Chain A
């Protein structure tokens, strides 16, 4: 399946879903004007890819310095899709990067971890620059 690559803008993250390598990453800032429109296609492509995965180890890196409230909802949908993929017999390794002093992103990651226990979740605090 073809790689999905979207370059970063000041208010939207770089999306690099290398489906061939089973390596998915989202990094940067996430406060697009219309989060549902920005993430809609991304989630659609992700679901198509996941539907074709069997007994696959999928690595996901999420490294967002900031995301707005409507992006939160979209991230939740991404996690939901990944969790279902584990139920379907795949393995999902998720690295959740955040600045170590950023309690909001840390807590959101912890909540996702509780909600989606099938995903192998790794909290990755990063020292503030």
Chain B
């Protein structure tokens, strides 16, 4: 009997993620009291997302890959690995064998930390648990040890919630989001770097007086800030730089515009499938911890992206990230999939600088530099993950700035793989150093918020 069950499970696992996860999600959804028909639909939507992603990533690699390589050869660059971005990395993570266990583990770590009063962040953002899962999935793929993978999820989750606490005063101070925070694998993880730059620029006479903010750039740029146009231009330009004639460069541009437009539509299928699950989890968590006076509700950084300084910085960093990619020593990655959403990397940095774009330019550049460098180290890991999940056949290398460039994922996996120990110590050293400044920055801003509230209370009295 038991062997029959385990044979059955192995049989399903062997059919790959596009079959396994839909079944698992449908079963979990039914267990949570969702109607059978709806649960099956949810499961199938996830499968659709996986199938669609595989199509699009392969098309991107087949077309943009050779062009990037030809361009690199002509100009002596090394940008031959295409960045698939978070729209490529997140479905691979959900497709990994660790994913279904990772959701309860990440929520469980949150509940335990809340119970032990180690955090005030209540994360109701189930989608972005993929960031935590990514650390686990990569570590599992590299080491082959399931428990190291789970440990990766636990560590990434615990740090995320602590970062949620850390950034809560800035959410209130700059974004006016009282009682909310963003315990996110990219925004929250990269912002400590900005705290160092903020403290540094504060000390430099002259520079510390410069304050630039720009609300109008978005209107001036117009459609040039839209993913479809970014994809089209980038594809065409890379085509021409690769030495293609117009008959090859222009189709490449149209194809890359298609990737930019279709990618989120495909990834949305996975979100659709996870909806019943994430809505139910949200309901249960807010019922118990919905009091924003005592807790910070952890949400997706999407809530920060409406801020005009964040939008403007995101636009400036499209060309800037490409420029940085040229100067990072030994960089092999052509930034692409994350270009339209660079704001995810720098949203909290903008709040650290109180919307001062001048400072965001410096810290954002440092953030992207570090991200690109780390993402280079994780190319073999991500390629292995994409092969293990059946997204690609593993012949062409893939990279992802988001989350392949995450310091914690890198440090954690490197502890076990040990193929670049000096690199690990340098990144770990920099990151710990930045954390000290982050804690100082958080305390300072919390004090400012409190002082302002006291002053207001006195005025009203």
Please determine whether chains A and B interact with each other in the same assembly. no
Q: Which residues in A have some Cβ–Cβ distance to B below 8 Å?
A: none
Q: Which residues in B have some Cβ–Cβ distance to A below 8 Å?
A: none
